[in-house]
Chains A and B, each alone.
Chain A
Amino acid sequence: MTSLVEGAKRLVGRGSDVTDRIDGLAEAARSARGRLDDSLVDEASAVAERAGDRLRLSGEHTVVALAGATGSGKSSTFNAVTGLELAAIGVRRPTTSWTMACAWGADGAPELLDWLGVPKRHQVMRDSMLDEPREDRGLNGLVLLDLPDHDSTEVAHHVEVDRLVKLADLLVWVLDPQKYADAAIHDRFLRPLASHKDVMIVVLNHIDEVPQGGRGAMLDDVRRLLELDGLGGVPVLGTSAKTGEGIPELRGVIAKRVADKATIRKRLGGDVSDSATRMHEHSGDAKPRELANKDRVELVEALTDAAGVPIVVEAVRRASSVRARRATGWPMTAWLSRLKPDPLRRLHLDRGKAGNDPIASARSSLPRTMHIHQARVETTVRDLCDGVSDGLAPPWVRAVRHASTSRFVDVTDRLDRAVTSTDLGVSATPLWCRGVRVLQWMLLLSALVGALWLGVLAGAAYLQLPPPRTPDYQGFPVPSLMLVLGVFAGIALAALSRVLISIAAKSHARKAETQLRAAVADVAEELVIAPVVLELVAYRRTWEGLRKARR
């Protein structure tokens, strides 16, 4: 499906293609900023920006730069191609100190020349000249630049050449029989620009100085050296600006390239793919990945432990059962449980009615999640990073690790807050407990009444008073029944409640645990997972951008 779309795109035009690639590079540079080496990222964004700028400017013009060593005859070639004595030539080296430009067809050219940084006084508009020889028609749309040398003692010239070589659409390297094998041109320009061989022409000037028989061999030797530079297939022309030999051919080749209009895109495409390849070497080719659910769960698990959630949950269970027992226990013994500590109160988590008081909830007194538990969290986070960044290039591994630990300082604090601000739901005594308590007291009361009654009966018997008639129930005397049933029913009720309480306490604890876990998960999400995901997204964008740019 995608290949269909891409195929269609290619059919519609290559224009969108190079724009896409530039966008891809720009996106990759944006996403990789701060993660990959700054110099690479800077270069990539500069390339993307430059390419974008060039595309916005006149597409009707092709910038052709004549570059080469001092004395190779760039200026005489320039004059020969333009047919005008525009550039100064001489025997004193270096001759040309500034860039000279000649444009054929003025529409849009001035903006282009401004962008190239060629001052007005060094610009010549060819159609402003009155004479327009017929053969110049083919050159319409050409902006020809005569660059200074790149190898003389004048360092300012090198800087100018370096700058314009990056901007020109088509590079014409002017060599000469003496200098064609110089390391200065091969090592500094030709080899690094190997990916631009589609937008390069090599001219061997001063060919008139070579004996007729040796010319072919020398041109072959130039081709051999270019082959070694990775520039096999670049057109090599022998010219002589002095005798005019080869100049028409050069004009012809340039005219063809200018008419073609594809040169600009080829040049920009070469730039983009160079920069993208360099970035790609550092960024690596590993597939982008997502954070696995398993990793998230493990992290939350570790943080839950670190936050002391199990302790709190256990405390909640115990507290709610203690409280409920206190409420539902047999009143005669229930007071004893008051001697037992309330686990939640000990953790300073029982906020009672002041539950939402921010000051009270400021700090719990849970075992602080310092060092030992922090260590466990860090180990888990490290494992998470290792897992998720496995196979990524080292800069990205570092980025992920840095992101995951960047907010560690806050973790302890935030976990503590997460635990203290969660409503544990144990402040109120459940309704059924109140009912049981009332029942308990009633049973106790009945037992007491029964006991009192029996006491009275016993007293009366002791005093030999006639016993008052005691009502009976199915043959059992009511006071005895009241006492016995009151006591036994109370104990039985307490026992029954205990069972219910332990069930209720467990469900309480579960509820509290769910809530605490949710709170901890929020912290994990915000302080660890989100930063890591951000890095992973950045990697995905960089990877996709580079893939687009290198296509």
Chain B
Amino acid sequence: MSAAGATTSTEMITALVRLREALATVALPLDVPGAEDHRVMRSAMVDQLEDYVLPRLIQIEAPLLTVVGGSTGAGKSTLVNSLVGRRVSEPGVLRPTTRSPVLVHNPADVDWFDKERILPGLARTTGATGDPGALQLVAADTVPEGLAILDAPDIDSVEERNRTLAAELLAAADLWLFVTSAARYADQVPWDFLKAASERSTAVAVVLDRTPPDAVDEVSGHLARMLTSRGLRDSPLFAVTEGPVDDDGLLPAASVHEIRSWLDSLASDADARAAVVKQTLDGAVRSVSRRTHDIADAAGEQLAMAHRLREDVDRAYDEAITKIDDASADGTLLRGEVLARWQEFVGTGELLRSLETKVGWLRDRVVGWVRGKPMQAERVTVAVESGLETLILEHAETAAERAEASWRSVSAGQHLAEDAGRDLGRASRDFRVRAERSVRDWQHGVLEMVRSEGADKRSTARFLAFGVNGLSVALMVVVFAHTAGVSGAEVGIAGGSAVVGQKLLEAVFGDQAVRRLAEAARADLNERVTALMEEERRRFLEVLDALGIHEGDVDGLREVSRRVDDLRFADMAPATGAGEPT
């Protein structure tokens, strides 16, 4: 390594550490299509960086790690034993066999593997163990210095831990010695692994094991064609015939001679070894940095989905607020119960209304009513309360239902809604109580408003005549007919009633003040409704916030990935004189 190379390598390590960090923290919690694949891919990438790329970059001169991987029953353990020349891994007829991986190395290389340099997740043992979370280290003179052989578990047995461990070990390998057999070589699972290896240009040697002698030519020819067509043309292919094993369970030396000598030559030639390491390492870095963009895309999709879900909620609740706002101002609330009580309060009849303009007469009439039945104002208040409350409650229910329904229309949202439980689609349990309190607070506020407005008019006859209660009821009615979206015959009922209230108030406070009071009361109501709905909305938003999806993740990932690419090209340019296409 040159001095320039060393700085690049330090920078590269820094960049890759940042990349690992960014990958590990990016949140992919929503079930958008393909999210599960991306999660698996992300954790594989993080593992590969931790288990292989970073340790390898830090100690570029460490021995070449050859991982012997392949299907269950393909004869991996027998092959490793035969290569080493003694029984280091326990083969067996029962499937799956190897449970804890065995690493065979030259005694001189022990330091490289003793510490937790590579595969930090596996404990080291020196004795045989069935624990799949351990790595058994075996020192053997027969293994050349600078090369280590790791017997991995199978990639395709029913034992899931074997499969994941094998994938992890293969991702940590400098060189794959991929073992398949005559019965196996067309299986789908191994080819998925080989395809992945070819995509990230890992150095692979393929061993066709357990081949009947008479089928060697046909099968190895077919396998070679399959390798070529799948982009592994340059991988060496070794055929090992199925034959009797000796007492130690070793194949005859002649059978594995070819592989053995290839490994020896690789071990003795530092340049060749470095080339293998570089090929695999570069391939790994390139593939990680390329796939980072996929993860960034996935994170982008997550972000977009989270936005969408947030908008769904906002739309439902904004609409609820708008609708309540409309309904509390266009005279709707003056229908039904409120209207009936109000009319009881002010009196009714064509005669009355035809005389509306004669405020004086009207006032007298109302005064009579109020004095005669002081409870009337109270009854209007109660009617207003229950009317408003029902209105708010219903819209809260509708909004929750709508928000939940639109979440349910996409699978990501559906999972969220299911996790959040059944109550998400309903208004919260204590909403009725809170709505009641808010409405009462508002009415109290209106009362206070009238009281303080009338402070200097307290002694006036008119004010006394109506009382604070009567006037605040009138103000509520005016508020409810604010936009007076009533037309035609209904003017006669709702609008007309509001006009009575308006006149009444104007007579007491003057029209400027009435307009101001009505505005203030309306704004107050709106504020309270918004606050109520905000609390409801938060139930949904909290679910989204808990996911931990951040805006900056996507750009962060891309940026680190670009940094890695830059360093990669910088490293490559002086060495090869041309950039490698990615």
Within 8 A of B (CB), among A339-391: 339-341, 346, 348, 365, 367-368, 370-376, 378-379, 382
* Neighbour of B186 across the interface among A94, A368, A370, CB < 8 A: A94
Q: Is A420 an interface residue (CB 8 A)?
A: no
Residues of A contacting B494 with CB < 8 Å? 367
A180 at the interface (CB under 8 A from B): yes
A340–B349 CB distance below 8 A: yes
- B-side binding surface: helix, strand, loop or mixed? helix
Known: A93-B185, A184-B189, A375-B394. A177 touches B215 (CB 8 A): no
Instruction: Pull 26 A–B residue pairs with CB atoms less than 8 Å apart, ordered by A.
Output: A70-B186, A151-B188, A178-B74, A178-B210, A179-B72, A181-B72, A181-B95, A182-B156, A182-B157, A182-B158, A183-B160, A214-B93, A311-B340, A365-B490, A368-B335, A371-B327, A372-B333, A372-B335, A372-B391, A375-B390, A375-B391, A375-B394, A376-B390, A379-B397, A382-B397, A394-B422
Closest beta carbon of chain A to B464's beta carbon, Å: 31
Q: Which residues of A contact B215 (CB under 8 A)?
A: 91
Which chain B residue lies CB-closest to A206? B183
CA A179 to CA B226, docked complex, whole Å: 21
Q: List chain B positions with a Cβ less than 8 A from chain A.
A: 71-74, 93-96, 156-160, 163, 181-189, 191, 210, 212, 215, 218-219, 222, 226, 323, 327, 332-333, 335-336, 338-340, 349-351, 387, 390-391, 393-395, 397-398, 401, 418, 422, 488-490, 492-494
Most chain A CB within 10 A, of B74, B336, B418, is at B336
Mask, A73-104, CB within 8 Å of B = 1, is 00000000000000000011110000000000
Given contacts A91-B212, A91-B218, A184-B156, contact A221 B94 (CB under 8 A): yes
A151 engages B390 (CB within 8 Å): no
Which listed residue (A93, A151, A379) contacts B394, Cβ 8 A? A379
Closest to B160 in A: A183
| B349 close to A177 (CB less than 8 A) | no
Given the known interface contacts A91-B212, A92-B222, A221-B94, the answer about A179 and B335 at a Cβ–Cβ threshold of 8 Å is: no
Contact B393 A379, beta carbon cutoff 8 Å: yes
Rounded to whole angstroms, the CA-CA distance of A197 and B45 in the bound complex is 41
- Given A178-B73, A367-B494, the answer on whether A210 and B93 have CB atoms closer than 8 Å is yes
Give Cα distance in the complex from A72 to B184, angstroms: 10
Kindly list 5 other residue pairs between chains A and B, CB separation below 8 angstroms, not including A93-B182, A179-B71. A177-B95, A221-B94, A365-B488, A375-B393, A376-B390
Complex-state Cα separation, A454 to B230, whole angstroms: 132
Query: Given known contacts A311-B340, A375-B393, A378-B398, is B93 in contact with A91 (CB within 8 Å)?
Result: no
Verify B156–A183 contact, CB threshold 8 A.
yes
Q: Which residues of A contact B340 (CB under 8 A)?
A: 311
Q: Which residues of B contact A183 (CB under 8 A)?
A: 156-158, 160, 163, 189
Separation of A214 and B249 alpha carbons in the complex (Å): 15
Q: Which residues of B contact A382 (CB under 8 A)?
A: 397
User: Across the interface, which residues of A come within 8 angstroms of B395, CB to CB?
Assistant: 375
CA distance A397 to B418 in the complex (A): 14
Q: Is the CB of B187 within 8 A of A153?
A: yes
> Which residues on the A side are within 8 Å of B333 (C-beta)?
371-372
User: In the complex, are the beta carbons of B490 and A368 less than 8 A apart?
Assistant: yes
Residues of A within 8 A of B493 (CB): 365, 367
- Among B181, B187, B219, B489, which residue has its beta carbon within 8 angstroms of that of A348? B489
In whole angstroms, what is the CA distance A228 to B158 when docked? 10
* Contact present for B394 and A178 (CB under 8 Å): no
- The distance in angstroms between the C-alpha atoms of A336 and B333, with both chains bound, is 34
Bound complex: CA of A210 vs CA of B73, how far in Å?
A: 12
CA distance A152 to B226 in the complex (A): 12
Nearest residue (CB) in A for B390 is A375
Whether A27 is near chain B, meaning CB under 8 Å from some CB there, is no
Q: Which residues of B contact A371 (CB under 8 A)?
A: 323, 327, 332-333, 391
Q: Is the CB of B191 within 8 A of A153?
A: yes
Residues of B within 8 A of A372 (CB): 327, 332-333, 335-336, 338, 387, 390-391
CB pair A153 B186 closer than 8 Å: yes
Known: A181-B72, A379-B394. A151 touches B189 (CB 8 A): yes
Closest to A345 in B: B350
State in angstroms the CA–CA spacing of A154 and B490 once bound together: 75
Q: Is A91 a contact partner of B191 (Cβ separation < 8 A)?
A: no
- Whether the pair A373, B490 counts as a contact (CB closer than 8 A) is no
Shortest CB-to-CB span from A202 to chain B, Å, is 14
Q: Are A181 and B390 in contact (CB under 8 A)?
A: no
Do the beta carbons of B422 and A182 come within 8 Å of each other? Answer: no
Query: A378 — nearest CB in chain B belongs to which residue?
Result: B394
A308 within 8 A of B: yes
Q: Does A186 sit at the interface, judged by CB under 8 A? A: yes
A179 to B73, Cβ gap below 8 A?
A: yes
Q: Is the CB of A93 within 8 A of B72?
A: no
B349-A71 in contact (CB<8A):
no
Contact A373 B182 (CB under 8 A): no
Q: How far does the alpha carbon of A308 sit from the alpha carbon of B157 in the complex, in Å?
A: 73
Chain A 208-227 against B: per-residue CB contact (8 Å), 1 yes, 0 no?
A: 00110010011001000100
Q: What residues of chain A lie closer than 8 Å to B72, measured between beta carbons?
A: 178-179, 181-182
User: When A371-B332, A376-B390, A394-B422 are in contact, do A72 and B157 touch as well, CB less than 8 Å?
Assistant: no
Interface string of A141-164 (1 = CB under 8 A from B): 000000000011110000000000
Taken together as a complex, chains A and B put the C-alpha atoms of A225 and B159 apart, in Å, by 10
In angstroms, Cα B181 to Cα A176, docked, is 13
Complex CA–CA separation, A91 to B221 (angstroms): 12
Residue pair A308, B336 in contact (C-beta under 8 Å): yes
A185 CA to B277 CA in the complex, in Å? 36
The reply to whether B181 and A370 contact each other, CB–CB distance below 8 Å, is no
- Find chain B residues with CB under 8 A from A26 CB: none
Contact B74 A367 (CB under 8 A): no
Complexed CA–CA distance, A405 and B210 (Å): 68
**CB of B78, distance to nearest CB on chain A (Å):** 12
Residues of B near A176 (CB, < 8 A) are: 183
Q: Which of A70, A184, A217, A228 contacts B93 (CB 8 A)?
A: A217
C-alpha gap A245/B95 in the complex (Å): 22
Q: For residue A151, which residues in chain B have a CB less than 8 angstroms away from its CB?
A: 187-189
Q: Is the CB of A152 within 8 A of B188?
A: yes
0/1 string, A256-282, CB within 8 A of B gives 1:
000000000000000000000000000
C-alpha gap A153/B187 in the complex (Å): 6
Tell me the smallest distance from the CB of B478 to a CB of chain A, in Å.
Answer: 17
Q: Using known A-B contacts A311-B340, A370-B332, A373-B335, determine if residue A218 contacts B163 with beta carbons closer than 8 Å.
A: no
CB of A38 within 8 A of chain B? no
Contact B183 A178 (CB under 8 A): yes
6 smallest beta-carbon distances between A and B, as pairs: A181-B95, A71-B183, A93-B186, A178-B73, A367-B335, A375-B394
Contact in complex: A71, B93 (CB < 8 Å)? no
Nearest Cβ on chain B to A168's Cβ, whole angstroms: 22
State whether A70 touches B94 (Cβ < 8 A). no
Give bound CA distance, A372 to B218, whole Å: 83
**B184: A residues at CB distance < 8 A:** 71, 93, 178-179
Does A509 reach chain B (CB closer than 8 Å)? no
Question: Nearest residue in A to B350 (C-beta to C-beta)?
Answer: A341
Question: A225 with B158: in contact, given A182-B72, A365-B489 (CB under 8 Å)?
Answer: yes
Judging by beta carbons under 8 Å apart, are A218 and B185 in contact? Answer: no
Closest to B489 in A: A365
Q: Which of A71, A153, A341, A365 has the most CB of B within 10 A?
A: A153
Q: Is A472 an interface residue (CB 8 A)?
A: no
Q: How far is the CA of A491 from the CA of B215 in the complex (A)?
A: 128
Residue from B95, B189, B327, B493 whose CB has the most chain A CB atoms within 10 Å: B95
Is residue A53 within 8 Å, beta carbon to beta carbon, of the partner chain?
Answer: no
CA distance A379 to B401 in the complex (A): 13
A69 at the interface (CB under 8 A from B): yes
Taken together as a complex, chains A and B put the C-alpha atoms of A94 and B350 apart, in Å, by 96
Minimal beta-carbon separation of B365 from chain A (angstroms): 15
By beta carbon, the residue of chain A nearest B182 is: A91
Q: Give A462 to B8 CA distance when docked, in angstroms.
A: 142
B residues in contact with A42, CB < 8 Å? none
Is there an interface contact between A373 and B336, defined as CB atoms closer than 8 Å?
A: yes
- Report the Cα distance A179→B184, complex, angstroms: 8
How far is A179 from B349 in the complex, measured between Cα atoms in Å? Answer: 95
Contact B327 A179 (CB under 8 A): no
